[in-house]
Amino acid sequence: MAPLISNHMDRTEYAILTTIALATVGLGVFTTQQPLGTFLVESAREALSTTAAMAWVTWWALVVGFAIAGGVEAWTSGEEVSELLEGHGPREIGYGSLFGFVSSSCSYSAIATAKNLFKKGGSAAATLGAFMFASTNLVIEIGAVIWILLGWQFLVADILGGFMLIGLMAFGFVYLVPDEVVEQARQNVQEEGSETVRDPVCGMEVDPDETEYSVEHDGRTFYFCSKSCKESFDPEEANTTIRERATSLSGWKALADKQWKEWGMLWDEIAIGFVFAGLIAGFIPEAVWTSVFSGPTFGLPVYVFWTAVLGAVIGVATFVCSVGNVPFGAVLFSNGLPFGSVLSYIYADLIVPPIMDAYREYYGTKFAAMLSGMIFVAAVLTGVVIHFVFLGAGLIPSPESVQIAEVSIEADYKLVLNVFATGLFGVLYWLHRSDSVGNEGHGGHGEAAQAGD
């Protein structure tokens, strides 16, 4: 049975990232024209300043984004969606994109959920194309951070490009990947054992064959990750309306639990994204960027294409997924990576090495290679096309517009929003940790599996 991959990076991945960070500092040391001591001090100061600045300007968006995502997940009833994803037409692709958008998952959780939907009969186009991509690259929190750090043009481009990429993936699954390869991949998943289901209280993925905690209610079996979640579950909450959940303490407790789950999955990658953005901004001299992005020597189309390939390769090599990609993308754009190539970098988060290895374990080597290759090609093509569409419309922003600035806490809208966000974060954390509220009922509505699924 292929194991579920962790939502957090392991020691090997941290070691690789540490090596990349040291290489970044080393590159700066060997290319700078400044005295070594001066360079190290000034670069470290700029790195810390950039990291802190990005965290400051995006804090409120992250808190509010995770809270909204938690509310969507906690206050809307769960349902088995695989039947709605069995085809590969516009309807099924639309449903897959919608369910992905509201699921708001980290990349690791998204591929596990997509695998389950595919295993239950969903088409590869709707599950591994639309759902899996939308749940990592078209969600609320990544949109908010893109808007703040890169501008509204990038947000619009991310959405339009996202739908184009989903369309390319659907085309690939329908017309390029042989049906027998797809069915062999489905058979590989089905042979691995029972699928995981969501704990309806905390949202964690649970293996029904391994957990000791379950509840029978109204002909369904609900599975839980722990005794506390089982005891907190209130099946009657499923009959309440969204308005009732949104105006009840237990409903807000459910929101708090869901949003904390999102923080738990993504906090390390977000932090790494900020730190890497600071290191790149602080330690790589401008002369290095100028030599790499020297301009369209062989014409603009060739330049945009090869930098889009480079952007996707950087996305694969950095191991960072989802929201954590955006701060680094802002630094790349401010230093010369073209508009569309930054999108290719962001879109490549579903083919980082640990995820490609998971594809191999889930679906087999042949299908995993095709899936990873299709994502890479789709990310590059989408970046190139969106670049020229926005170039023709005159909507590509200036690199100087990117929010990479010195930290300055002033009495402006950012201070007000961050104070509000900090208060909201504190309240939600208290609700999440409060046992007394949990005993009244969580109001969660995760996936429930029929007994014997």
The answer, yes or no, to whether residue 219 has pLDDT greater than 80, is: no
Whether 304 is in a domain gets the answer: no
pLDDT of residue 319: 65
The answer, yes or no, to whether residue 452 has pLDDT greater than 90, is: no
Whether 346 is in a domain gets the answer: no
If one compares 239 and 427, the residue with the highest pLDDT of the two is 427
The answer, yes or no, to whether residue 183 has pLDDT greater than 80, is: yes
State pTM to two decimals: 0.74
For residue range 400-422, list pLDDT tens digits in order. 887 665 556 676 777 888 899 89
Sort residue 80 into left (φ over 0), alpha (ψ -120 to 50) or beta. Answer: beta
Whether 448 is in a domain gets the answer: no
The answer, yes or no, to whether residue 205 has pLDDT greater than 70, is: no
Whether 209 is in a domain gets the answer: yes
Query: Do 326 and 142 contact (CB within 8 A), yes or no?
Result: yes
Query: Do 128 and 21 contact (CB within 8 A), yes or no?
Result: no
pLDDT of residue 194: 56
Whether 221 is in a domain gets the answer: yes
Domain count, the chain: 1
Whether 20 is in a domain gets the answer: no
Q: How confident is the model at residue 313 (pLDDT cuts 50, 70, 90)?
A: very high
pLDDT of residue 253: 84
Report the percentage of the chain scoring pLDDT > 70. Answer: 82
Give the structural domain span for 200: 193-239
Q: How confident is the model at residue 1 (pLDDT cuts 50, 70, 90)?
A: very low
Q: What are phi and psi of 275, to 5 degrees?
A: -65, -45
Contacts of 299 (CB under 8 A, 6+ apart): none
Tell me whether residue 268 is exposed, middle or buried, using C-beta atoms within 10 angstroms of its C-beta: 0 to 12, 13 to 18, 19 or more.
middle
Q: How confident is the model at residue 444 (pLDDT cuts 50, 70, 90)?
A: very low
Contacts of 214 (CB under 8 A, 6+ apart): 208, 221, 222, 223, 224, 230
What's the mean pLDDT when you consider all of the chain? 81
pLDDT of residue 160: 97
Whether 309 is in a domain gets the answer: no
Count of beta carbons in the 10 Å neighbourhood of residue 102: 15
The answer, yes or no, to whether residue 443 has pLDDT greater than 50, is: no
Helices (H), 76-150: 90-103, 107-119, 124, 132-137, 140-150
Whether 106 is in a domain gets the answer: no
Report CA-CA distances (Å) from 130 to 87, 166, 320, 419.
12, 5, 21, 36
For residue range 56-87, list pLDDT tens digits in order. 888 887 888 778 767 766 776 545 566 788 88
If one compares 240 and 369, the residue with the highest pLDDT of the two is 369
